[in-house]
Amino acid sequence: MVGEALLEVRGLTLRFGGITALGGVDLTIAEGETLAVIGPNGSGKTSLFNCVTGLYKPTSGAITLQGESLLGLSPDRVTARGVARTFQNLRLFLHMTVLDNLMLGRHLHFRKNLLAAALRLRGEEIRHRAKVEELIEFLDLEAWRDSRVAGCSYGVQKRVELGRALATEPRLLLLDEPVSGLTAEEKEEVSYWINEVRGRFGVTVLLVEHDLRVASRLSQRMVVLDRGLKLTEGTPEEVQRHPGVIRAYLGDQ
Amino acid sequence: MDLVETYGEELRFARKPLARTLLILLLVALALLPWWGPRGWLTRASLVWLFAVGVIGQNLLIGYAGQISFGQAGFLAVGAYTFGHLRIAGIPFPLALAGAGAAAGLAGWLVGFPSLRLKGPYLAIATLGFGTATYQIFANVEWLSGGRAGLAIPALQPPFGLVRDTWVYLLYYAIFLLFTGTAYNLVSSYLGRALVAVRDSDIAAESMGVSLSRTKLLAFAISSFYTGVSGALMAQYLGHLEPQAFNISESMNFFVAVIVGGLASVEGSIFGAAFVVLVPALLGGFRWAVPVLFGSAILSVLILEPLGLAGLWLKTRLYFRLWPFR
Ligand SMILES: Nc1ncnc2c1ncn2[C@@H]1O[C@H](COP(=O)(O)OP(=O)(O)OP(=O)(O)O)[C@@H](O)[C@H]1O
Ligand SMILES: [Mg+2]
Model pLDDT, residue B1: 43
Chain A CB contacts of B218 below 8 Å: 114
Q: What is the pLDDT of residues A3-60, one digit of tens each?
A: 678 999 999 999 998 899 999 999 999 999 999 999 888 899 999 999 999 999 999 9
How many A-B residue pairs are in contact by the CB < 8 A criterion?
110
Cβ of A101 below 6 Å from ligand 1: no
Nearest to A117 among B7, B13, B190 (CB): B190
Cβ of A39 below 6 Å from ligand 1: yes
Position A2 confidence tier, pLDDT thresholds 50, 70, 90: low
Q: For residue A89, what are the contacts with CB-CB under 8 A and spacing of at least 6?
A: none
Model pLDDT, residue A81: 95
Atom 6 (ligand 1) nearest CA? A16
C-alpha dihedral over B152, B154, B155, B161, to 10 degrees?
A: 160
Model pLDDT, residue B244: 77
A9 phi, psi to nearest 5 deg: -120, 125
Whether residue A242 is contained in a domain is answered as: yes
B5 touching chain A per CB within 8 A? no
Distance CA B207, CA B198 (A): 11
- The model carries a pTM of 0.90
ω into residue B154 within 30 of 0, thus cis?
Answer: no
Average pLDDT over residues A207-220: 86
Q: For chain A, how many structural domains are there in total?
A: 1
Whether residue A207 is contained in a domain is answered as: yes
What sign for the dihedral angle of Cα B141, B143, B149, B155?
A: negative
Cβ within 8 Å, pair A104-B205:
yes
Whether residue A244 is contained in a domain is answered as: yes
A22 touching chain B per CB within 8 A? no
Model pLDDT, residue B92: 92
Question: E strand or H helix at A13, and its extent?
Answer: strand A5-16
Give which of B180, B184, B208 to mutate to test A binding, by max A Cβ within 10 Å. B208
Give which of B190, B198, B226 to mutate to test A binding, by max A Cβ within 10 Å. B190
Whether residue A98 is contained in a domain is answered as: no
Cβ within 8 Å, pair B11-A85:
no
Residue A208 vs residue B279, higher pLDDT: A208
Average pLDDT over residues A159-173: 95
Average pLDDT value over all residues in chain A: 90
The alpha-carbon gap from A55 to the nearest alpha carbon of chain B, in Å, equals 8
SS3 assignment, position B168? helix
Whether residue A158 is contained in a domain is answered as: no
Model pLDDT, residue B163: 81
Distance CA B245, CA B287 (A): 16
pLDDT tens string, chain B, 326 residues long: the values are 455 667 777 777 777 778 788 889 999 888 888 888 788 888 889 999 999 999 999 999 999 999 988 888 889 999 999 999 999 998 999 999 999 999 999 999 999 898 888 888 888 888 888 888 888 888 888 788 777 777 888 887 878 877 888 888 999 999 999 999 999 999 999 999 999 999 999 999 999 999 999 999 999 999 999 999 999 999 999 888 887 777 777 778 888 888 888 888 898 999 999 998 888 888 777 777 788 888 888 888 888 877 888 888 777 777 666 554 44
- Strand-by-strand arrangement of the A19-30 sheet: A19-30, A5-16, A60-65, A68-69
Cβ atoms of residues A101 and A164 within 8 Å: yes
Chain A CB contacts of B182 below 8 Å: 118
Query: For position A237, which CATH number holds?
Result: 3.40.50.300
Q: What is the pLDDT of residues A178-206, one digit of tens each?
A: 988 888 898 888 888 898 888 888 899 99
Whether residue A163 is contained in a domain is answered as: no
Model pLDDT, residue A1: 47
Whether residue A219 is contained in a domain is answered as: yes
The alpha-carbon gap from A237 to the nearest alpha carbon of chain B, in Å, equals 34
- Strand-by-strand arrangement of the A34-38 sheet: A83-85, A172-176, A204-208, A34-38, A221-226, A229-234
pLDDT at A253 over 50: no
Distance CA A70, CA A63 (A): 6
Residue-range definition of the domain harbouring residue A181: 5-82+170-250
Q: What is the pLDDT of residues A230-247, one digit of tens each?
A: 988 888 888 888 887 777
Distance CA B229, CA B110 (A): 17
Chain B CB contacts of A119 below 8 Å: 185
Model pLDDT, residue A107: 94
Model pLDDT, residue B156: 79
Model pLDDT, residue B182: 95
Q: What is the pLDDT of residues A83-141, one digit of tens each?
A: 999 999 999 999 999 999 999 999 999 988 899 888 888 888 889 999 999 999 999 99
Atom 3 (ligand 1) nearest CA? A16
Strand ranges (E), A86-238: 172-176, 204-208, 221-226, 229-234
pLDDT at A214 over 70: yes
Cβ of A16 below 6 Å from ligand 1: yes
Distance CA B306, CA A31 (A): 49
Average pLDDT over residues A156-167: 94
Q: For residue B66, what are the contacts with CB-CB under 8 A and spacing of at least 6?
A: B195, B198, B199, B200
Q: Which amino acid is at B148?
A: R
Distance CA B195, CA B216 (A): 8
Model pLDDT, residue A68: 93
Model pLDDT, residue A12: 95
Chain A CB contacts of B196 below 8 Å: 93, 95-96, 100
- Surface of B (248-277) touching A: CB under 8 A: 264
Model pLDDT, residue A248: 67
Model pLDDT, residue B320: 66
